[in-house]
Amino acid sequence: MLALTSVWTTILLAAAVALGPLATDMYLPALPQIGSDFSTGTDQVQLTLSLYMLGFALAQLICGPLADRFGRKPIMIGGFLLFALASVGCALATNIETLMLCRFLQALGGSAGPVLGRAAIRDIYTPREAARIMAILASIMALAPAIAPTIGGFMVSGLGWASIFIVLAGYALVMAVVVTFGIPEPMRPEYRQPLRLCSLLRNYRTIATDISFLGYTLTNALIFSGLFAFLSGSSFVLIDFLGVEPEHFGLFFACIVVGYVTGNLTAVRLGSQLVPDQILVRGLTVAVVGGSIMAGLAIAEIHTVWSVILPQALFMVGVGMVLPQTMAGAMANFPHMAGSASALFGFTQMAVAAIAGALVGHLHDGTSLVMATIIAASAAAALASYLILVQRHPAAGFESQPASTR
């Protein structure tokens, strides 16, 4: 077993959390082909993404409290096994309805990695340390969306879209073995919560009525919905509208990931000089600028690959700065129920993202306009949430002065 604070434990937790992004990013190049194979429209194909996000959101409300009672490891392992089984079902699907159902089941299992990975970080580190570790973890995780669409594009071209789900099933099985034998249980025994409905509801009420939790969570969910709007619409915009080949889709997607990693590393570097509040406002400002540029170009009917990719890369710099701070801030007040706090945080994040994704699919007009407008609106709403809630109600002990200035 590895030490909880070792760099390899952080890497393994990142690999566990990366299962969620992999399940969306790897099959993005396949969406147009899935629609063609099943003779269905963009809105129906896009629902396989939104239903995944909905299942992901709902499952977190269950696996978080279960993890607070039984520990992080057993719930995470069970989630990986369910994910693997559902992934095989996706590969064998013969119609869009079956694929939707299996994607929903896949999400139920896949939610365990991200929600319990966040909780484990909070178990191991203090709130300020957790923000730094989550930024590092996010940078490691960025390898998944950097390479997943490229791999997925080549698999679609050479082996068909079903092969993507077979690979995802294998990844989940490997992670189940790695977590079983490689990572100690991070949860302190004294933090175990009783698994009773009244206790569960009381915990959720305590968390949901904490204004600082609501502020960080809503800011995170809104900025993440801009990211998910891009995930939902990018394959249709780049492949169908702008003529990018599926096998080249991942190369352009990698530019987006570079922006995200840049934001993560900037947050890590600034973490020793600035308080999270200062990092947040800088990241949100960058995201608003990026989203506004993309929307402006789309309104002006400037339709090129780079008029989408470059503004989105700038938007992702802001996302990379914002997400780690809001994750750590949301859970800062709840070390004794980190699983439930992470679950409610994740539910809100995924529910808002699912709405944004559904809007992209439903309103898609064949150009980049709808996607770009929703991305810009998400960034502006996130900034408003920060100004109204986070800035006025920061988490106690989280927004204190950085170590270098104390």
- pLDDT confidence of residue 6: 73
Give the number of other Cβ atoms within 10 Å of residue 4's Cβ: 16
Q: Are 110 and 20 in contact (CB under 8 A)?
A: yes
Q: Are 300 and 368 in contact (CB under 8 A)?
A: no
Cα 45 from Cα 35, distance rounded (Å)? 6
Give the number of other Cβ atoms within 10 Å of residue 150's Cβ: 20
Cα 374 from Cα 356, distance rounded (Å)? 7
In the chain, the domains with their CATH numbers are: 7-396 (1.20.1250.20)
- pLDDT confidence of residue 140: 62
Tens-digit pLDDT string for the chain (406 aa): 666 667 777 778 878 878 877 888 888 888 888 988 898 887 788 888 888 888 888 887 888 788 888 888 898 899 999 999 999 999 999 999 999 999 999 998 988 887 777 778 778 877 767 777 777 666 666 666 667 888 888 898 888 899 999 999 999 999 999 888 888 887 877 777 777 778 778 888 999 999 999 999 999 999 999 998 998 888 889 988 898 888 788 788 888 888 988 998 898 888 878 888 899 999 999 999 999 999 999 999 999 999 999 999 999 999 999 988 898 888 888 877 877 887 788 889 888 988 898 898 888 888 999 999 999 999 999 999 999 999 888 887 676 544 444 3
Amino acid at 189: P
Cα 137 from Cα 21, distance rounded (Å)? 13
Cα 215 from Cα 399, distance rounded (Å)? 13
Q: Are 87 and 201 in contact (CB under 8 A)?
A: no
Alpha-carbon Rg for the chain, nearest whole angstrom, is: 20
Amino acid at 1: M
Chain position carrying tokens 């995470």: 76
Q: Are 246 and 29 in contact (CB under 8 A)?
A: yes
- pLDDT confidence of residue 404: 42
Q: Tokens at residue 6, please?
A: 């070792």
Cα 347 from Cα 406, distance rounded (Å)? 36
Q: Are 389 and 214 in contact (CB under 8 A)?
A: yes
Most distant CA pair in the chain: distance in Å?
62
- pLDDT confidence of residue 194: 72
- For 208, half-sphere exposure in the C-beta direction (CA atoms, 13 angstrom radius) is 12
Cα 134 from Cα 264, distance rounded (Å)? 9
- pLDDT confidence of residue 138: 67
Look up the pTM and report it: 0.74
* Total count of residues recorded for the chain: 406
